[in-house]
């Protein structure tokens, strides 16, 4: 169905910034096969998807799709054969148009333009039926603007739109990465359903090892613009998320990013932070069940840690939601092994999924620290997407600000002086932080980076 043959792509050729984003990548996909792509930060995953979608011309190599040589086809022509979902829930839909209008446009993808978004009664019925199948209760809201929906709801709809015409190829680029864990789960389930039902040939980039092994029938691991591993059949079927992590560890080891003696020392130093993280998360969870405790025990055993005392009253709730974030930051600063960080992530994600006993605030804190650890595990340098700044309104607010943010100097930003409170991964967490300063009477706002 899809034959990518020996494609290469470099950016900024001939300058000191030259990047060889793809170096001789070949992938041959059978009709109906579902490939998940993982790889280190900057390894060329998105560039590969963009090359297939025709966002730019490749430097060499050919691409064939559904018996067409599409190498020279412009993006809009390829769009007739390809459905795409991006990481950002805000791309791919028109926020002020209704669900029904957005879908109506998608049903005409790559075809006649200029007919606006008229929705015939027949199409309306079909839209309602298919939206109902998302099981998000949106079927009664198809005339509401898409902009009023949550990120998870929007990604579900974008997926529905991208797959509406049963494209020859579906491209998903980390389409759950910007969602909270619960919404991410929902969208992943939906992805499996739609791809399975319509037998769509699919390329999905993900940073989640778990998603990579749970979905699809083939896994490609990329590194530095090349395919490092291409796993199918029994090799792939017996693979666990930890096996994949080990392969990332191998890459790191090969690149000698750290010396063994140092690593051991780091693990020992991380113990204190890990205990604090587990303790705090346990305290946040009002009814720890046996499975959650077993999971924490297994983790502690594996890494030779002492379990926190989980008896009633032995652990106290966090005084301040920012505190846990700081502990996680300190833990990651030690540069712990990625396998350990990934296992910690499993424990945290499990705690969020198992029950709904957490307060919204606790959930948001978990969302933030989960995103921080995911960023670390997948070797992202700086994943923060939001910045919280205080904009002083009068000069006499400045002593208060300096007392709240010792050592922070004002910087010039968007035409005025602001104080940077911090950078965060979760928008909801950033809002939570901002509220703390707003409550002090300070004009505080969140900037999307």
Ligand X SMILES: Nc1ncnc2c1ncn2[C@@H]1O[C@H](COP(=O)(O)OP(=O)(O)OP(=O)(O)O)[C@@H](O)[C@H]1O
- Indicate the angle between helix axes 360-377 and 321-333, nearest 10 degrees: 10
Site string for Mg ion, 6-45 (x = CB under 5 A): ---------------------------------------x
Q: What is the DSSP string of 79-125?
A: TTTEEEE-S-TTSSS-TTSBHHHHHHHHTTTTS---STT---HHHHH
Nearer CB in complex with Mg ion: 45/428: 45
Q: How far is CA 135 from the centre of its chain?
A: 22
Judged by CB, which is closer to Mg ion: 362, or 383?
Answer: 383
Among ligand X, Mg ion, none, what binds residue 410 when CB lies within 5 to 8 Å by partner kind?
none
What part of residues 29-68 is at the interface with ligand X (CB under 6 A)?
39, 41-47
Site string for ligand X, 340-379 (x = CB under 6 A): ----------------------------------------
- Is residue 104 a contact partner of residue 127, using CB atoms and an 8 Å limit? yes
Nearest residue (CB) to ligand X, 100 versus 223: 223
**Contact yes or no for 103/161 (Cβ under 8 A):** yes
Q: Which residues contact 232 (CB under 8 A, 6 or more apart)?
A: 217, 218
Q: Name the residue nearer to ligand X (CB basis): 22 or 430.
A: 22
Q: Closest approach of Cβ 45 to Mg ion, in Å?
A: 5
Q: How far is the CB of 39 from Mg ion (least distance, A)?
A: 9
Number of residues that bind Mg ion (CB under 5 A): 2
State the binding string over 378-397 for ligand X (x if CB under 6 A, else -): --x-----------------
Q: How many residues would you count in the chain?
A: 449
Distance CA 212, CA 240 (A): 9
- The count of residues interacting with ligand X (CB under 6 A) is 12
Q: Does 176 bind Mg ion (CB under 5 A)?
A: no
Tell me if 211 contacts ligand X by CB under 6 A.
Answer: no
Q: Is 46 in the site for Mg ion (CB under 5 A)?
A: yes
Closest among 426, 438, 449 to 361, alpha carbons compared = 426
Cα–Cα distances (Å) from 357 to 350, 361, 435, in that order, read 13, 12, 23
- Taking the least distance from each CB to ligand X, the nearer of 42 and 422 is 42
Q: Which of 2, 4, 7, 21 binds ligand X (CB under 6 A)?
A: 21
User: Using CB under 6 A, which residues numbered 430 to 449 contact ligand X?
Assistant: none
Give the DSSP H or E segment for 2.
strand 2-11
Q: How far apart are CA 430 and CA 448, in angstroms?
A: 10
Q: What is the DSSP letter of 295?
A: H
Which of residues 44 and 279 has its CB atom nearest to ligand X in the complex? 44
Nearer Cβ to ligand X, position 41 or 238? 41
Q: How far is the CB of 222 from ligand X (least distance, A)?
A: 6
Report the side by side order of strands in the sheet with 386-390: 411-413, 416-424, 386-390, 444-448
Residue 257 or 317: which CB sits closer to ligand X?
A: 257
Report the partner that residue 19 touches, choosing among ligand X, Mg ion, none (CB closer than 5 to 8 A by kind). Answer: ligand X
* Of 178, 202, 207, residue with least CA distance to 192: 202
Binding mask 164-203 for ligand X (x = CB under 6 A): ----------------------------------------
**How remote is the C-alpha of 179 from its chain's centroid?**
7
Interacting residue ranges for ligand X, rule: CB under 6 A = 11, 19, 21, 39, 41-47, 380
Interacting residue ranges for Mg ion, rule: CB under 5 A = 45-46
């Amino acid at each position: 169905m899809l034959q990518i043959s020996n494609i290469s792509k470099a950016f900024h050729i001939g300058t000191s910034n030259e990047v060889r984003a793809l170096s001789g990548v070949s992938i041959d996909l059978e009709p109906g096969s579902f490939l998940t792509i993982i790889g280190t930060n900057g390894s060329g995953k998105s560039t590969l998807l963009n090359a297939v979608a025709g966002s730019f011309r490749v430097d060499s190599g050919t691409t064939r799709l559904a018996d067409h040589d599409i190498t020279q086809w412009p993006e809009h022509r390829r769009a007739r054969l390809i459905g795409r979902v991006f990481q950002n829930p805000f791309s791919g839909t028109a926020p002020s148009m209704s669900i029904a209008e957005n879908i109506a446009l998608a049903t005409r993808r790559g075809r006649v333009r200029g007919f606006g978004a008229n929705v015939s009664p027949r199409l309306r019925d079909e839209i309602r039926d298919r939206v109902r199948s998302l099981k998000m209760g949106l079927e009664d809201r198809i005339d509401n603007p898409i902009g009023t929906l949550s990120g998870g709801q929007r990604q579900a709809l974008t997926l529905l739109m991208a797959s509406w015409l049963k494209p020859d190829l579906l491209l998903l680029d980390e389409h759950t990465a910007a969602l909270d864990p619960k919404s991410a789960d929902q969208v992943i389930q939906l992805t499996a359903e739609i791809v399975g039902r319509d037998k769509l040939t699919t390329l999905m980039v993900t940073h989640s090892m778990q998603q990579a092994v749970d979905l699809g029938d083939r896994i490609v691991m990329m590194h530095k613009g090349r395919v490092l591993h291409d796993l199918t059949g029994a090799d792939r079927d017996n693979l666990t998320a930890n096996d994949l992590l080990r392969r990332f560890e191998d890459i790191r080891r090969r690149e000698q990013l750290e010396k063994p003696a140092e690593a051991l020392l780091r693990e020992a130093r991380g113990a204190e932070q890990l205990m604090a993280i587990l303790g705090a998360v346990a305290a946040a969870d009002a009814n720890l069940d046996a499975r959650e405790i077993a999971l924490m025990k297994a983790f502690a055993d594996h890494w030779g840690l002492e379990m926190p005392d989980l008896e009633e009253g032995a652990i106290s709730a966090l005084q301040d939601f920012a505190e846990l974030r700081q502990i996680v930051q300190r833990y990651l600063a030690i540069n712990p092994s990625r396998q350990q960080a990934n296992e910690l992530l499993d424990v945290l994600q499990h705690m969020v999924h198992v029950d709904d006993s957490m307060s919204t605030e606790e959930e948001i804190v978990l969302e933030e620290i989960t995103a921080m650890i995911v960023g670390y595990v997948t070797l992202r340098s700086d994943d923060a997407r939001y910045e919280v700044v205080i904009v002083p309104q009068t000069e006499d607010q400045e002593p208060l600000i300096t007392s709240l943010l010792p050592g922070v100097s004002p910087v010039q930003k968007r035409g005025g002086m602001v104080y940077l409170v911090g950078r965060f991964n979760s928008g909801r967490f950033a809002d939570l932080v901002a509220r703390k300063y707003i409550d002090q009477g300070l004009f505080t706002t969140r900037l999307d980076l």
